[in-house]
Amino acid sequence: MVVTSNEYIVDLTLVTNHPLLDPPNTRDQYIGAYLGQKDASIRDIIMFDRIIRTIDTTRLPTYIVTVNEGQCIRKLIFEQSNQTKALGAFFVAFEYEGTTRTSSTVVLMHNATFLPEQTTLTVHVGETVTIAVVTNRTEDDFRWRFNGDVVPDRCPAYRWGSECEHTCTECLNGGKCDADSGECVCHPGFNGTTCEHVLGSNRFGQDGSFSCDSSGDDHSPGCRGKLFCLPDPFGCTCAAGFMGINCTTECNPGTYGANCLQECHCSPSNICTKDTGECIDGTECQEGWTGVNCQAIPGTTSASSGITSSTIPIVEATTQAFTSATTPAPTTVPPQLIPSSAIESFFYTKVNNGGSATLVCIVTGSPPPTSENISVTHAAGGDEGIVLLESTVHESTRTSWYRVRVSLDDVPRNFTCLLRRLDGESVSKDLAVSVYEPPSFVESNILVQEMTSHSVTIRWTHWNETNDRGDGPVIGYRVYHSTHGQGDIARASSDRIRDTTFTITNLTRDTVYDFRVTASREGPSGEGMFSSVARARTKCTAPSQAPVLSVRNRGQTFITLDWEVIPEESWGCSALSGLEINVSTYGQNGFPRTLSFDTMAGTANIGEFADCTTYSINAAFRNKDELGISSEILSVSTYLIRPARVGALQMSPSTTQIEVSWETSSSLCSPDYYIIRYSLYQKLACQSPETTPTEFEVNTNITQYNILVGLEPYSQYKIIVTAVNGAGQSEPMMGYSETRPGRE
C-alpha cells in the first residue's frame, strides 16, 4: 500500500549573511527569507522578530529595515553602524492554511566567550540532546540556562503521520523526513523526491531555484559564509561543502554536503567533490554503493540507482520511543512495494518578462513512462502555447522539457504536469510560473556633463531597487541616442556599461540629440524600458575658411571694407553668426578693438579713425560656438591733410651765413620734409631794397641748424619755411635776418 498525505511543505529558506559577526569588518549584514516560486504569494505576510531578548530590546529595533527583492525574497537588513545589536536569535513567522509556521536563525559575535559547535541541533522525540560549546575561559564556574523553547521533530526518526504510524522513505544526502507529509526536506545543494539530485554549493531552496551569485557556476563558493535555515524543526546548516560555526571552512577529505556530515563512498573515499560527493577523475564507487554520488545501496530505493522495487531500511515505532531519553534500535521490516511510476519533480527556471520559460517534468518508473503518458497543461485546462521541446530517458527516469511564454500581465500562471500510470491511475504536480520584471528607472536623472562637436558625455543615477521599478540585480546599462524629432533610436554601445558615465561619439555637429538609458538584469530579455529623455546639442566646429578683405573706400576718419561669404560647407555649423573685424594701430600694440558685423551684409563702414594714420586690420567668421581662421592682415591708412605751419622761426646771422631753426607744427599729419626759401631783400649800404631779388630754395628733413651760406655781408634776407607732405604744403612761416658788416 502506498501512503500519501495532503500536508504541504512550504519551500522557505532563511539565509543569514555572516552568522558570525565581526564589526566593523562585516559588510552587508542581513537575514533573508527566500521562497520557492510556488510559495511566492506569502512573501508579504512574512514577519521578522526576535526569539529572546538580546542587547537592549526584545523586539526588532528601528534601525533595521525590511525590504522586498523581486517576488520571492524578503530581507531584514542591519545598518552598518548598529551591527553589534544584530546579535541574537531571530525568526520569521507566517500563517499558512490557519497554522503559524516559523523558521529560526542565530547571529553570534566572533569573539564571544562561548560559541556552540553547531548553531542548531535537529533531534526527534525520545532522543537525547547533547549541547557542546567552545569557550576561551579557563575557569569552569559558568552555569547553563534553559529558556524552555525546544522545537523537536514530533515523531521518532524515520516515522511520519498524525500518529507517527508511517515509515519514511529514505532521504539521501542528509535530507530529513517531514513528520507531517513524509516527504524529504533537502539540505542546500540537493533536491528531488529523495534529495537524490546533486546541484552544487551555489544552489539552495527545495527546488534549487536560488544561487548566491550570478556566476552561473553551480559549484562556485558564492554561498560561503552564509547560514541556511529550513522551517522548524529542521534547523540550520552551512552550504554544501562548508562547515563550522561561520560556514567558511571547507569539508575535510572524505566528507561532503551541508555541514560536511555526509561520507564519501568513492574509491578511494577521499576522492570526491566537497559539495556534492561526486567522484573525481573518473574514480568509481566503493563496492556495495552506486548512484550519481555513490550514496545508494543496490537493493534500496534511490532515484540515483534507477531501481524502483527494492527493500528499504525501516525503523518500527514503539510506545517507548516517545518517552525514552534514547533513540530505539532500528528494526528491519519486510520490503515495501514502490509505485511503478511517479512524478519526481516539476520545476522551471525563472526568466525575464518577454522570454520563454522552460518547464521540466521529471518522472520515474520501471519501466520509465512513455512521453505519451506525460503531459503539461494549463492548470485551468488546455495546452495552448505549450510546446514540447524534448523528452529523454536515462535508466528509470524520463525528463521532458516544455517551452511556455509567460508575461507580467498574467503571472503567476499555473501549470500542471500529469502522469498517467499503467494501472490506470493518474498523478499530477502543479507549478506556479512567474517572471522577472526587467529593471526600469522611475527617474534616471540624466545629466549632460560635456559636449564637443562630435560627442556628448552623460551621467545618470544607479538603478535602485527601492525607488525604481523591476527586479535586480542590475548587471549593466545601455545608452541610446536619437536625433530630436526623429525616430532613429540607436544604441551607443554594443556592450553593457558597468559605470554610470558614458561618452557617446560619432555624432553630427550642431545637432540636437535625445539620450535615454536602460538598465539590464542577467538573462535574455533582461533589458528594461527606456528612461526619461535628456536633450543636448553638439557644438559647431570652427569655420574652416578665412574671409578675404578688400578696401572699398577710405577717408580722413573712416574705412569701408568689403568681403565675400565663404561656402556653406566651410561654416562648421548650420549658420554663421557674424564677422569679427580686429583693428589696431599699425606697428603698435595700442588702439586694439574688435567689431562685429552681419556676415551676409558683405560690407562694413568702420569709423572713428584718426586721419593720416595707418591701421592693421584682419577678420574672421564666427558661428554660435567657435571663431574661425583669421584673414591676412590688411594695412590701411586714412587720408592725409596738409601739415600745419611751423612755429617759432629762429635765425642766427653771421657775416655771410644765417643759421635757421624752427619748431615742428602740431598737425596730426606730419610733414615729409621742409622747404627753406631765401632771397636778398636789401643791401643795407643802399637806400632801397633790391628790385629783382633772386630766390634760393633748400629742402631739409631737420628743424635745427640749417645754415644758409654764401650771403652778402651787411644785408637783409627774407627767409620762408614751409612744411610739405603728400597732401601739399603748409602755410609759409616768413622772417627777416641781417648779416653782419665786414668781410669773410
Q: What is the pLDDT of residues 395-418, one digit of tens each?
A: 889 999 999 988 888 878 899 999
CATH for 550-637? 2.60.40.10
Do residues 567 and 639 make contact, with C-beta atoms less than 8 angstroms apart? no
Which one has a higher pLDDT value, 65 or 617? Answer: 617
Q: What is the mean pLDDT of residues 39-64?
A: 70
Q: Is the peptide bond before 233 cis (omega within 30 degrees of 0)?
A: yes
Do residues 685 and 738 make contact, with C-beta atoms less than 8 angstroms apart? no
Alpha-carbon distance of 662 to 592, in angstroms, equals 35
pLDDT over threshold 80, residue 324: no
Q: Could you write out the DSSP letters of every residue in 426-470?
A: EEEEEEEE-EEPPPB-S----EEEEE-SS-EEEE-PPP-TTTSBS
Do residues 471 and 436 make contact, with C-beta atoms less than 8 angstroms apart? yes
In whole numbers, what is the pLDDT of the chain averaged over residues?
A: 83
What is the predicted pLDDT for the residue at 325? 32
Whole-number percent of the chain with pLDDT over 70: 86
- pLDDT of 172-209, one tens digit each? 999 999 888 889 999 999 999 999 999 999 999 988 88
Q: How many residues does the chain have?
A: 744
CATH for 341-436? 2.60.40.10
Which run of H or of E encompasses 554? strand 550-554
pLDDT over threshold 70, residue 217: yes
What is the predicted pLDDT for the residue at 650? 93
The three state secondary structure string of 193-253 is CCCCEECCCCEECCCCCEECCCCCCCCCHHHCCEEEECCCCCCEEECECEECCCCCEECCC
Q: What is the mean pLDDT of residues 679-693?
A: 83
CB proximity list for 4: less than 8 A, separation 6 or greater? none
Alpha-carbon distance of 315 to 437, in angstroms, equals 48
What is the predicted pLDDT for the residue at 336? 35
Band of residue 60 on the pLDDT scale cut at 50, 70, 90:
low
What is the predicted pLDDT for the residue at 735? 93
Band of residue 564 on the pLDDT scale cut at 50, 70, 90:
very high
What is the predicted pLDDT for the residue at 88? 81
CA distances from 162 to 86, 665, 734 (A): 38, 132, 146
- Quick one: cell of 85? 545589536
Q: What is the largest CA-CA distance in the chain?
A: 179
Range from 311-315, 403-407, 629-633 carrying the lowest mean pLDDT: 311-315
Closest CA to 75 of 36, 35, 113: 35
What is the predicted pLDDT for the residue at 570? 94
Closest CA to 173 of 223, 230, 240, 253: 240
What is the predicted pLDDT for the residue at 738? 92
Which run of H or of E encompasses 404? strand 397-405
What is the predicted pLDDT for the residue at 334? 33
pLDDT over threshold 70, residue 145: no
Band of residue 68 on the pLDDT scale cut at 50, 70, 90:
confident
Which one has a higher pLDDT value, 149 or 212? Answer: 212
CB proximity list for 236: less than 8 A, separation 6 or greater? 14, 16, 104, 105, 106, 119, 120, 227, 228, 229, 230
Closest CA to 78 of 69, 70, 67: 67
Which run of H or of E encompasses 77? strand 73-78
> What letter represents residue 735's amino acid?
G
**In DSSP terms, which residues pair with 674 in a beta bridge?**
700, 723
Q: What is the mean pLDDT of residues 217-240?
A: 91
Do residues 256 and 240 make contact, with C-beta atoms less than 8 angstroms apart? yes
What is the predicted pLDDT for the residue at 323? 29
Band of residue 2 on the pLDDT scale cut at 50, 70, 90:
very low
pLDDT over threshold 80, residue 18: yes
pLDDT over threshold 80, residue 143: no
**pTM value?**
0.45
What is the predicted pLDDT for the residue at 110? 80
pLDDT over threshold 80, residue 743: no
> What letter represents residue 87's amino acid?
L
Band of residue 58 on the pLDDT scale cut at 50, 70, 90:
low
Alpha-carbon distance of 358 to 522, in angstroms, equals 17
- pLDDT of 242-294, one tens digit each? 999 999 999 998 899 999 999 999 987 778 999 999 998 777 888 888 888 88
Ramachandran region, residue 531 (left: φ > 0; alpha: ψ -120 to 50; beta: rest): beta
Q: Give the three-state DSSP class for 339.
A: coil
Alpha-carbon distance of 399 to 345, in angstroms, equals 10
Backbone angles phi, psi at 45, to 5 degrees: -100, 0
- pLDDT of 452-467, one tens digit each? 999 999 999 999 988 8
Residue the block writes with cell 535530507: 175
pLDDT over threshold 70, residue 369: yes
Do residues 723 and 699 make contact, with C-beta atoms less than 8 angstroms apart? no
Band of residue 309 on the pLDDT scale cut at 50, 70, 90:
very low
CATH for 647-738? 2.60.40.10
Count of other CB atoms within 10 angstroms of residue 5:
14
Band of residue 627 on the pLDDT scale cut at 50, 70, 90:
very high
Residue the block writes with cell 517572471: 435
Q: What is the mean pLDDT of residues 129-136?
A: 77
Which run of H or of E encompasses 515? strand 512-521
What is the predicted pLDDT for the residue at 678? 94
So what's the architecture of 447-537 in CATH? Sandwich (2.60)
Which one has a higher pLDDT value, 114 or 30? Answer: 30
Q: What is the mean pLDDT of residues 295-304?
A: 56
Do residues 66 and 20 make contact, with C-beta atoms less than 8 angstroms apart? no
Which one has a higher pLDDT value, 154 or 400? Answer: 400
Terminal CA-CA length for the chain:
167
Which one has a higher pLDDT value, 157 or 277? Answer: 277
Ramachandran region, residue 403 (left: φ > 0; alpha: ψ -120 to 50; beta: rest): beta
CB proximity list for 719: less than 8 A, separation 6 or greater? 649, 651, 658, 660, 676, 677, 678, 708, 734, 735, 736, 737
Q: What is the mean pLDDT of residues 17-44?
A: 83
What is the predicted pLDDT for the residue at 360? 94
Residues of the chain with CATH 2.60.40.10: 341-436, 447-537, 550-637, 647-738
Band of residue 62 on the pLDDT scale cut at 50, 70, 90:
low
Strands 262-263 and 255-256: antiparallel
Band of residue 591 on the pLDDT scale cut at 50, 70, 90:
low
Band of residue 642 on the pLDDT scale cut at 50, 70, 90:
confident
Count of other CB atoms within 10 angstroms of residue 293:
26
What is the predicted pLDDT for the residue at 655? 93
pLDDT over threshold 50, residue 603: yes
